[in-house]
C-alpha cells in the first residue's frame, strides 16, 4: 500500500517537530491540535489543518498521534474509531500505558485497521533534526508498511515485538533518564560545594564511567540556567508513575521508583505542572543556597548532525 496522505494529531514541543519532518519528505500532511495556532508553521509549508479529528481521519490512510497523556490518547482514538477501516494504520507515538495501548489496539484491529505503537526517545533536539530513536511494537507487516514514514522521523528504529512491549520499554528508558537527572543534580552540587569549577566537572564526568546521554544533554541546560529540554514536570511525573505502576504489578520491591515519584511530585506541586522537568534541580539549588551556573553552555539543545537515514536496529547485532 502506498501511503501518501498522513494525519498528525498533537502538535506539542515534540509532535510539531516530528510532523515537520514528515511534510519535509513530500507527504501530504493533515494536522489537528486543540490549539490551531500551533499548526501555523506547518500550514505555511503546505499542511492542511482539519477542523476536527473526524475530518482528518477521512482524508488519510495513516494516522499518527503524539499526545501528552494516556487520557488524551483515549479521547482522540475514540473520536477516530467510527471512521477507521481496513485502509488505515494508526501509529501512536506518545509515552502511554501499556494496558491502555493493548485495549485501544484491539478496538482498532476490530475495525480491520492496523496499529503500531512507536514512542520516540532521544530528546526534542533530535526530534527536530530527524535523528531521534523510535521503539516500535506491533505486527511485522505493519512495521514494514510504516518504515518509510518512520525513517523520515528518526534514525535508529527498533522493532520490539507485539503491542505493549515498546510502550513498556519507553517507560523504562524515561525512568532511567529521570533518575539520572536527579543524580546529576546532586553530583554537580557536590562539585560546586567542594570548589571544583563546574565546567571542569562537566568535562570530567563526560570522559568518565559516570557519563551518560542525560549528562551530555540536560547537564548543559542546567549549567546554563535555562533548564530547557522542552519536557515538563507533569510529563515526567506521568512517566515515572507508569514505571512505578509496573513495579507494583509485578511485585518488584523497587525502592528507587517510589522515592523518585515522591521527589518529582513535590517538584510539580512547588513549580507547577508545566515547569521544565530539569528544574527539579532548582529545588536542590534553593535548599543549598547555591546555583549551578557555568559559562559557555547553551540555553537549549541543537543536534548539529545532518539527518541520518532511518535504519532498523537488529536485535542480534
Query: What DSSP letter does each residue of 27-41 carry, written as one string?
Result: -EEEEE-SSGGGGHH
Q: Are 38 and 16 in contact (CB under 8 A)?
A: yes
The DSSP letter of residue 279 is G
| pLDDT per residue rounded down to tens, the chain (317 residues) | 589 999 999 999 999 999 999 999 999 999 999 999 999 999 999 999 999 999 999 999 999 999 999 999 999 999 999 999 999 999 999 999 999 999 999 999 999 999 999 999 999 999 999 999 999 999 999 999 999 999 999 999 999 999 999 999 999 999 999 999 999 999 999 999 999 999 999 999 999 999 999 999 999 999 999 999 999 999 999 999 999 999 999 999 999 999 999 999 999 999 999 999 999 999 999 999 999 999 999 999 999 999 999 999 997 75
Ordered by start, the domain boundaries in the chain are 5-163+305-312, 168-288
- The CATH class of 168-288 is mainly alpha
Distance (Å) of CA 3 to CA 7, 27, 95, 133, 146: 11, 8, 24, 22, 9
Give the closest residue to 227 by CA, choosing from 291, 133, 131.
291
- Gap between the Cα atoms of 252 and 274, Å rounded: 31
Element (H, E) at 249: helix 233-249
5-163+305-312 CATH pick, 3.40.50.720, 3.40.220.10, 3.90.650.10, 3.30.70.260:
3.40.50.720
For 223, the grid coordinates are 549549567
Residue in the block written with cell 523504562:
172
Residue 214 CB neighbour total at 10 angstroms: 19
Round to the nearest angstrom and report the end-to-end CA distance of the chain. 30
Decide: residue 287, CB within 10 A, 0-12 exposed, 13-18 middle, 19+ buried.
exposed
Amino acid at each position: 500500500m502506498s501511503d501518501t496522505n498522513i494525519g498528525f494529531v498533537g502538535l506539542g514541543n515534540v509532535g510539531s517537530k516530528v510532523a515537520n519532518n514528515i511534510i519535509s519528505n513530500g507527504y501530504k500532511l493533515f494536522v489537528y491540535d486543540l490549539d490551531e495556532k500551533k499548526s501555523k508553521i506547518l500550514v505555511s509549508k503546505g499542511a492542511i489543518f482539519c477542523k476536527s479529528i473526524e475530518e482528518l481521519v477521512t482524508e488519510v490512510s495513516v494516522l499518527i498521534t503524539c499526545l501528552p497523556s494516556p487520557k488524551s490518547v483515549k479521547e482522540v482514538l475514540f473520536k477516530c474509531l467510527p471512521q477507521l477501516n481496513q485502509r488505515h494504520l494508526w501509529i501512536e507515538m506518545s509515552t502511554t500505558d501499556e494496558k491502555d495501548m493493548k485495549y485501544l489496539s484491539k478496538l482498532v484491529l476490530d475495525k480491520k485497521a492496523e496499529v503500531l505503537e512507536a514512542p520516540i526517545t532521544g530528546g526534542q533536539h533530535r526530534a527536530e533534526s530527524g535523528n531521534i530513536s523510535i521503539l516500535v511494537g506491533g505486527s511485522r507487516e505493519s512495521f514494514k508498511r510504516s518504515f518509510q514514514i518512520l525513517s523520515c522521523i528518526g534514525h535508529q528504529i527498533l522493532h520490539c515485538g507485539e503491542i505493549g512491549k515498546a510502550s513498556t520499554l519507553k517507560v523504562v528508558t524515561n525512568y532511567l533518564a529521570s533518575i539520572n537527572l536527579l543524580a546529576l543534580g546532586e553530583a554537580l552540587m557536590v562539585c560546586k560545594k567542594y570548589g571544583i569549577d563546574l565546567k571542569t566537572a562537566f568535562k570530567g564526568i563526560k570522559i568518565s564511567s559516570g557519563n551518560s546521554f542525560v549528562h551530555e544533554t540536560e547537564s548543559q541546560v542546567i549549567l546554563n540556567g535555562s533548564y530547557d529540554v522542552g519536557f515538563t514536570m507533569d510529563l515526567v511525573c506521568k512517566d515515572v508513575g507508569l514505571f512505578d505502576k509496573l513495579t507494583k504489578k509485578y511485585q518488584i520491591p523497587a525502592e528507587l521508583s517510589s522515592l523518585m515519584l515522591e521527589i518529582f511530585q513535590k517538584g510539580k506541586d512547588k513549580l507547577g505542572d508545566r515547569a521544565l522537568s530539569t528544574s527539579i534541580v532548582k529545588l536542590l539549588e534553593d535548599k543549598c543556597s547555591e546555583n549551578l551556573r557555568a559559562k559557555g553552555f547553551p540555553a537549549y539543545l541543537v543536534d548539529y548532525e545532518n539527518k541520518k537515514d532511518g535504519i532498523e536496529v537488529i536485535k542480534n547485532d
